[in-house]
Chain A
Amino acid sequence: MEQNRENLQQAIRQLPEYQPPAGLWDTIAGELDFDQTLEKPLQELPVYTPPADLWDSLAARIEQAPELAPEKGIRPAYKWLVGLVLMALGVWVFLPVAPPVAPASIPTTPAQSAEPIALNNQPQQIRTTQTNNTQKKAVKPTSKPRLAHRTEVVDDALIMACRSAEDPNYDLVETLCKEALPVCEEPQFKQLKAEFDDLTQAHTALKNALGQYADDPDLVSQLIDIEQARDQVLQQLMAMM
């Protein structure tokens, strides 16, 4: 049983609100990758469509409203005022809005990646979502990463090395062993074949990773090393056969 309960409730309504310590939202934002996390659910958000008869009803109302016809125009005396209002609206809409000044307790973070990547021959910046904010809301870095552009010249020896066709002999071993040659069951052959398959797997993986426009001499060199090692193993296999 309680008496004068309203008195307690009044005090509860006046209880103070607290602000989280400086940097907490930064911490939370740092711990979450918002874009990644929200990507799927955002795509799955339901899309609502208006009732089917809404547009018919709107059309009918427009037809019944002659005052909306454009002929009436604006009285000349007010034209300057309308112009001013429109201009002010335009300024308000298109000018970047200064961010609210962060409270002293919230640390400010410099704008992300202030300097674009040094551009080479063509100083063409493809798209720059530049944030002029010197103070950023601590919740999350909403600005898209800046894209930068440069050109690189690659020796096509690197590229061509990754496009060499497979030696048809590579399949020969498989084909012959399908015919149940006794040598294919010998332990030494099996070991070599396992090594050959291992190298083939690594070769395929590396070649796929390098793609059509490889530019890393180390990795291309490794690809060639693997091809050479595979050739040696293949020769041993063929010799045994």
Chain B
Amino acid sequence: MKKILLIVLLLAGCGVGRLLAQVTLQVVSKNVEKTVPWKPGMELIVNGEKADVTVVPTDSAAISVSAELSAKHPSLDTAQTDVNTWQLVVNTVGKKVYIRAYVGVQAGKRAPVSNMRAQIKIKVPRQCAVNLSNRFGKARLEHLDAPVALNGYFCRFDLFALNGELKVESEHGSVDGKELKGPVDIKGKRADVTLQQTAGNCSLQTEYGSVHFYTDTQSGNVRIAAQMTDITLSGLEANSHNYRLKTRFGNLDVPDKFDKSGSTDKARTAIYQVKPESPSIEVETSFGHIKVEK
């Protein structure tokens, strides 16, 4: 009986402990929806902060924005005051449509103390070029045919089925891309980059991060110039690419069929050639490891 009582008390204690280990936040949010007309040749420029942005295609000749702008705080009054500092600006200047979500604090008023978050869903015509920058959030773009340029700081990029030219600059934010058909240019710093099913040529420059590149028969040339970056290459079984790998002050983990005879004390190299005319994967890193998955 004492044991049962002890267990009950223990469980109750755990329950209380669990409750104490949680904080209830009052979430006050405002929804904003805006639509602007779009004509071919117009470009969308998105500037977000603390925002989770989703860009999806639409068949209509308009760009529409649906945003939930929220403030989270244990005090309802505080959250309610802070949510009003959110601003969503949508305007067209010439051939550029600007969408900007930001926390605007008027002079003399206190800055928000709540956790401010924005969920922004943007629908754009597939042919609309997109230029997006975001800090401290996420961005997902999918099924677009026009060029896309991205800039992120602590922003995780999730990219799917982008058919136009893609340029990404990301610091402290991962980049996951799948089915990228156009040429890809990624500059990453402390960013983990994962690319699958690419069709165009890809160029990556990375520092302090990791790269995982899946190549297949559709993939074009791949160039990776890296520092302090571990690089993993998958897709060797497709036998579609020539490999030229080099690391300074790092390990090289490649199948036996790779030619490592060019290695020196300072740099390790590995070469594998399928056909001279095949697209190539060229990787050069320092203080990072290169691994080719079998």
Contacts and interface: CB of A to CB of B under 8 A. Distances in A.
Residue among B28, B31, B87, B89 with max Cβ neighbours from chain A (10 Å): B31
B37 A27 contact: yes
Interface in B105-145: 113-117, 135-136, 138
Contacts of B187: none
A137 interface: no
Contacts of B135: 209
A222 B208 CA distance: 14
A209 B136 contact: yes
B210 interface: no
B289 interface: no
Interface stretch (B3-11, B68-76, B261-269): B68-76
Interface string A11-45: 00000000000010001001111001000000000
Contacts of B69: 145
Nearest to B35: A30
Contacts of A157: 21
Interface stretch (A66-74, A89-97, A146-154): A146-154
A36 B99 CA distance: 13
Contacts of A127: 80
Given A147-B80, A209-B135, A219-B136, A30 B28 contact: no
Give chain B's interface secondary structure class.
Answer: strand
Contact of A151 (B26, B30, B114, B171): B26
Contacts of A27: 36-37
Contacts of A151: 24-27
Contact of A149 (B22, B27, B37, B114): B27
B154 A222 contact: yes
A72 to B, nearest CB: 49
Nearest to B171: A202
A218 B156 contact: yes
B60 interface: no
Contact of B90 (A33, A145, A152): A33
Interface residues of A, number: 42
Nearest to B73: A213
B26 A149 contact: yes
Contact of A30 (B34, B73, B76, B156): B34
B31 A153 contact: no
Main SS class of interface, A: mixed
A167 B30 CA distance: 39
Interface in B61-102: 68-69, 72-74, 76, 80, 83, 87, 89-93
A155 interface: yes
Contacts, number: 119
Contact of A113 (B23, B31, B76): B31
Contacts of A87: none
B50 interface: yes
B20 to A, nearest CB: 8
B76 A149 contact: yes
A127 B79 CA distance: 13
A157 B18 CA distance: 11
A156 interface: yes
A145 B191 CA distance: 36
Contact of B28 (A36, A149, A153): A149
Contacts of A209: 50, 135-136, 154
Interface string A127-153: 100000000000001000111111111
Given A152-B24, A215-B72, 12 more contacts: A33-B91, A148-B28, A149-B29, A153-B23, A154-B23, A156-B21, A157-B21, A202-B171, A211-B116, A213-B23, A215-B115, A222-B172
Interface of A: 23, 27, 30-33, 36, 112-113, 117, 126-127, 141, 145-157, 159, 202, 205-206, 209-216, 218-219, 222, 226
Q: Which 6 A-B pairs have the closest CB atoms?
A: A145-B30, A30-B36, A209-B136, A31-B92, A213-B115, A113-B31
